[in-house]
Amino acid sequence: MNLDDYSRFDAVGLAELVRRKEVSPEELLRVAVDAIQRVNPAINAVIDTRDAQAREALKQGLPDGPFRGVPFLIKDIGVHAEGVPTEFGSRLTQGTVFPYDSALMARYRRAGLVLLGRTNTPEFGNNASTEPLVRGPTRNPWNLERSPGGSSGGSAAAVAAGILPMAHGNDGGGSLRIPASLCGVFAMKPTRGRNSLGPNAGDLICGMGAEHVLSRTVRDSAAALDATQGPEAGDPYYAPPPPRPYLEEVSHAPRRLRIALVTASPMGGPVSPECVEAARRAARLCEELGHDVTEAPLPHDGRLLHEAVVTAWSASLASLVAMIAHHSGKEAGPELLEATTWAAVRHGQTLSATELQRALGVFNFVSRQVGRFFEQYDVVLSPTVAAPPFPLGLLDANAPRSAREWYDHAFGHCPFTAVFNVTGQPAMSVPLHWSEDGLPIGVQFAGRYADEATLFQLAGQLEQARPWAQRRPPVHVTRPV
């Protein structure tokens, strides 16, 4: 198999080739390593390649899972694998290695995925761009001077560039959907509790954190969620099980949906006309597909929610950094942390338990408001982000800013995503639009709590109407770099 052949298949398709013995897992691994060597020097998406360990895993034999033999990359935060460093994109955590797989990593292995390495991430995921000091910036395959987004920017860039069809990511305020939008790939943030965060955590960022993948096709995302969803013993909450496999939903057209269109930033800031137009075009496409679309803003106070998110993020980051410093014996400070990380940590240290509980009260109030809104509508459609792929350096996490200034700046570029982390609802970014200068612009669709099924049905319908998987960025494994 050559790179041209390899890049035509999604993960489900590659696994089918393995099942039919038309290609071996060893051959897929070889091509994936070639793909990394071909384009990664240009984009810096993959920070650690583990081909020797991957070959050993193949010698030991793979489970007969739905992705048997398919190469896979994990983001350098959240999921961890036995014996593989997990460094959170930070100097503070360099050399951190867990002696066991996290629950989600174990499920990836049982699905037959072959761990090939790690992808770049901003420090502690605390940025909507992937530009950590410790590893350097990841570059967008559509334009090397632009950001791939964050915090799953390394994974999104790797998938967009054709290194592999699917990679792990996570999302605490938009970190799957933002890079999916900026890199022209698909991402679903699942319902809170759909994928386990165990065993080291039951909750991330006061309920905002979720784990899943970025992919070129909708069916890969659906099949991956089928393979990983469900609780582990001791999880504090979990989503109700789906009535049937998500992979089946992708090929089923949804019922006539009531869709609310939102184009104004809930934070009150500017939204690029191209992003607004992308959402409006998606709305017209939904109407052509038989759905009812009405302009209707979400009922919550976006500024009030943002204040609560700043509190939750700062408190969570301060707690995480203190725990890491305690276990590593290193001193957390400006020598080992980027400026805005350290500012957020210091702000988190000043917060009282009462202030955190007040923020959680806002989360509850907003969740009730948005939940009632979804009694009128099945889906909310909006831009994923407020601007097309922006230049690297615009979200410089090492610039001197207070925590409040940093979060105003960072979330101002992605004001549509965090509300669904707060409510715990599923939301996806779909690559339906490209700007006049050829840069991808995603569109976000959010669904009711635990109703990924409707979103997968709609995504499958949109993918069939406006196929995107074969669009190739200028930096791609099938093109000279």
Name the one residue in this structure whose structure tokens are 């400006």. Answer: 334
Measured between alpha carbons, how far is 29 from 470 in angstroms, rounded to an integer?
A: 22
Measured between alpha carbons, how far is 168 from 154 in angstroms, rounded to an integer?
A: 10
Measured between alpha carbons, how far is 323 from 26 in angstroms, rounded to an integer?
A: 40
Reply yes or no on whether 402 is catalytic: no
Torsion angle in degrees (nearest 10) through CA of 69, 75, 79, 84: 70
Structure tokens at 382: 């909006």
Name the one residue in this structure whose structure tokens are 């022209």. Answer: 184
Burial class (CB in 10 A: 0-12, 13-18, 19+), 233: exposed
Instruction: From residue 22, give the alpha-carbon distance in Å to each of 18, 56, 113, 219, 358.
Output: 6, 22, 18, 21, 58
Name the one residue in this structure whose structure tokens are 């993948």. Answer: 213
* Residue in 129, 147, 151, 367 annotated catalytic: 151
What separation, in Å, do the N-terminal and C-terminal C-alpha atoms of the chain show? 20
Closest CA to 176 of 77, 300, 71: 77
Reply yes or no on whether 151 is catalytic: yes
Measured between alpha carbons, how far is 164 from 11 in angstroms, rounded to an integer?
A: 8
Measured between alpha carbons, how far is 181 from 314 in angstroms, rounded to an integer?
A: 26
**Residue 133, number of CB atoms within 10 A of its CB:** 17
Reply yes or no on whether 147 is catalytic: no
Measured between alpha carbons, how far is 225 from 168 in angstroms, rounded to an integer?
A: 11
* Residue in 152, 175, 265, 316 annotated catalytic: 175
* Residue in 7, 75, 265, 316 annotated catalytic: 75
Instruction: From residue 343, give the alpha-carbon distance in Å to each of 17, 124, 194, 338, 357.
Output: 50, 13, 32, 9, 21
Active site members: 75, 151, 175
